[in-house]
A and B are shown apart, each in its own frame.
Chain A
């Protein structure tokens, strides 16, 4: 399978990359790791005549933890996320989730920016970013702006990013308490049948804060506000967990596909959310 012909660009700055997108408009696309884009280019589902490789933009790489804020450049790979001890200390859920993405080869080259910006509901990072209440940083011809991850996803492959903007990085607050990212998949390398990210803090036997989000259970990632409402203030006893699981499953809206019919997916969602809450509780 060979993609259609294109012109290759390798800018060395965000401004230069944005300039190329402005110049070539709909004919241009940025490429990060390329493991979502190149397969669709090979199938000729998408027609790109100018490919803008962000690999040369050094300012979009790396992880920093500063005063409780985690900043991750969009071109940082899953492998780098897994390898970073500073990140594992600041937000261990990121390593747990990253290890469940694709396979080792894909993780060496696949980036967090590509994973969140593509808008594919099957990708794990968008759900994780709902859990973390992350902020996305975008650069375009009119300068930079930020968008909350929870406001970013509009529908499958439709996001708040304009065509001439580039997602340059992600910030979120370091986490404390219990965490878990649980994923059910048919095999390693597969997308989730259902996946869930959970954060919990507990003080004096009572849950003081919570976050619950779902991956691949709707046409966007789902932040489960009702499940969070059930958990916060509870003792995280089995009744509260069961009510939160029900609320999360009610917030899902999966479609039938090769991973199973709707009822099956909702059943798996319940199992996975329960596992994630119980795992986070045991670590809180």
Chain B
């Protein structure tokens, strides 16, 4: 491991008031009520609060314009919040310019310095921190080793592939042991296979180095794959935050249900509840059930709502079997997608998407009348407003 005196020298840039920001394990990043508006008064980020715990991977996930990048930039110091606080280990970083905040940032496009070699790029933050030439070199080479680019130290960024440049950017952002790593859609420009590989590598790197990561992306697969926690953002606000499985299985709004994965939203009316499972009535008079809504105040008999059922939660009822949850419809489309098959069933006045493990031969044919069923816990009752 790195000797402690080298660690101290690798401390954040000079300044007595920076003592609180010397890198140590266990540093919390907190956002409290952060908002950002531009001149026109339009709020780009609204009252965002979350905590990134040490060593954790938190992703800000949302569509373009949801404010996720602006939020990241406020953490990094390139934007100033118009309200709220950004705190590192309790200390407000508001007064600190970006070059004193000790975060490692990987931008879209990586921002590698084209006129410097890979090694010089990675050494740069160490040079800013006044490390001696030997120590710089050792640390930088070790970091390059860690990202699998030993031997590339003499090359220029232009001579590297996209994936390699990505890794240099990561190495450069990590080499000075920052308090956290901030990544702004770093894999956007790469093809799918490379993205998958790098996602795994980033995750593995995090495990090895133990650093906290704040990640921004619009790709929900990516978010699910890498994150300990996901904060879903839309229109400047955090809509829901939690572990990937949690959000996936228990979306709080129709937006979240539709954004993370695919879902069917079936209009219904709330007509009973046992506390955990709610009974609903569909437009054609049939009944179904799903998980009760989380927020107590949204519950209410007779209230209109949406029942969210993921395509993979459905099963086809065959033969004479019946089930308490049942929807009748007619198959209108079928697609084979390798890992799964996708059926479109016209039911209840809408297209219901059903997904089944792929087996090559369709279970039902287009035009067949079918009955769909699902387990109550696999449905989620949501209120009509997003």
A-B interaction:
no
